[in-house]
Amino acid sequence: MKITVMKSNADNDISNIDEYIVTEHGLHLSEKNTTASDIIIGRQHMTADGIRANDIVLPASDRAMSRIHCKMIYKWGVTDQS
């Protein structure tokens, strides 16, 4: 599965597009260093104690998103967004 994250500016012009690949083993090339198999999306790059919980890190300046905003669960070959 491919995830596309598009960022827009104040004029709603798309300024940046990032694409991510999800397999049954998790996000391809993720820097997450936890044992959680779910795909985690949020704006926190790393905690004070060095934990990288997010697979997809959104801009820290985007205060509309939580540090750990949402997760996607991969089960039996399908993805459940929660």
Label residue 78 by pLDDT band (50, 70, 90): low
What per-residue confidence (pLDDT) applies to 10? 59
Tell me how far apart the alpha carbons of residues 18 and 6 are, in angstroms, rounded to a whole number. Answer: 7
Residue of higher predicted confidence among 17 and 78: 17
Strands 70-75 and 39-42: antiparallel
Tell me how far apart the alpha carbons of residues 12 and 22 are, in angstroms, rounded to a whole number. Answer: 27
pTM recorded for the entire structure: 0.72
Domain encompassing residue 37? 2-81
Q: How many domains does the chain have?
A: 1
What per-residue confidence (pLDDT) applies to 80? 58
Query: Residue 7 above 60 pLDDT?
Result: yes
DSSP letter for 45, please: -
